[in-house]
Every structure is written in C-alpha cells, then in structure tokens.
Amino acid sequence: MNSIIIVDFTLLGAVAPELLTLRSTARAGDAILLTGWPGESRAGLELIRRQGLVVSPSTRQKLIERHLCPQPRLAEGQLLARSGQVSSMIDVSDGVIGDLLHICKSSGKGAEIDAAGLPVSSEVFEAAGAAGADPLEWVLSGGEDYELLFTTSADSVAGLKKMLLDETGTSCAHIGKITAQTGAVFVRLADGKLIVPSVTGWDHFSF
C-alpha cells in the first residue's frame, strides 16, 4: 500500500452569463496585462527551502507570507469582468507562461511577451540575487501567485490600468500582445531577440 496521502477537493460556483470571461476568446492584436507582482510566491518557496539565503528580514517575511498565504484577486477579477473590456482572463496559479499558453491554445492564438515590461518586485530581485537565480524565470514560471492575466484591446489598456489602481490599489503591467500564430509563445528580450521560453509552469499531471 502506498503511504502517500493525496487530498483533493472541487469548488463549484455560479456566474451571470454577461459577466463570464473565458480563456478562449483572446483576439490577435490584443494587449496582454498582468496584475501585481508574480514570482513572489516562488521566491518565498526558495527562502523556505534554502534557509541560509541572506535577505533582509522584511523581504523574508513578505515573500514567505506570499507563498504560504496567497491572496486571489477576487475584487479585481469582478471589476474587470464588469468593465466589458476584457476579451479573456485567467489567474496565473500555474505560472505566467503556463497560463498564457492555456489562453493561447483555447483561443487558437499565440503571444509575444516583452521581457522589459514584466513586473519584478524589489523583493524578488533581492531573493533571486541571493539564490543566484534569474528573477525573470521566477516571474514567468513561478506559479501560486494568483495574479490575473488578461487581454484587452490596445486602446483600453490605459483605462483599465487606471481603474484597477484607483478602485483596488492593484497595479497592472502591459507585458505583451496576442498574435495570430496558433499556440506559439515567445519572449522578446531587451536586445530585441525573440526566444522560446524554456520553462512553462506547473503541470498538474507530471508526477
């Protein structure tokens, strides 16, 4: 008999049809936006795993709390859905790249991420430096942050960013665009080079 215990549960909910925002309705040319500071949960996990990493006490406390007690962006998601300006949306519990791939595959589209536009908190920079890691890798593949990744028309970007900040205090970054190339996700580096990301995020069925 296997000694490993697995606990699983399912939550069901209801939503008004006019507020339903799918992952399958992104459009080529849409802007890709991302709330908050992804990568902080991954940084917190690294600090738990590697107790000897030297970071400031405030950074340690914040990042470990972000890993152990992630806060879903419920108010932000409802606000975005009510705006009527969001074409698709998903949380990044599986990582930015992994969940962007979900949107692309469901929508029959591709994506290009601008590395220079990715939000990286000072705490993630500090922890990644202590760990000898690439902070952008943590941002793109970390997961468990429950930030929101969503798409909208280019002319709606400024208004949605202001709305989120004014009404919830949550910042939002414009990190790329949806393309017509089905299933292809690329990252544009600071030198203009396009690369295929080497990490995709958490796979629930990989172990």
Residue 135 within a domain? yes
Count structural domains, the chain: 1
Q: Are 107 and 26 in contact (CB under 8 A)?
A: yes
Res 167: pLDDT: 98
pLDDT tens sequence across 46-102:
999 999 999 999 999 999 999 999 999 999 999 999 999 999 999 999 999 999 999
pTM higher than 0.75 for the full model? yes
Q: Are 171 and 68 in contact (CB under 8 A)?
A: no
Q: What is the CATH number of the domain that holds 184?
A: 3.90.650.10
**106 pLDDT above the threshold of 90:** yes
Least confident among 22-26, 53-57, 131-135, 188-192:
188-192
What is the Cα–Cα distance from 97 to 102, expressed in whole angstroms? 9
What residues make up the domain containing 175? Answer: 25-195
Residue 188 within a domain? yes
pLDDT tens sequence across 1-35:
678 888 888 989 898 998 999 999 999 999 999 99
Res 205: pLDDT: 38
What is the Cα–Cα distance from 110 to 84, expressed in whole angstroms? 23
Q: How far is CA 163 from CA 35, 58, 77, 117, in A?
A: 12, 29, 12, 19
Residue 203 within a domain? no
146's CB contacts (< 8 A; 6+ apart) are: 70, 71, 72, 73, 91, 92, 93
What is the Cα–Cα distance from 156 to 150, expressed in whole angstroms? 12
**166 pLDDT above the threshold of 80:** yes
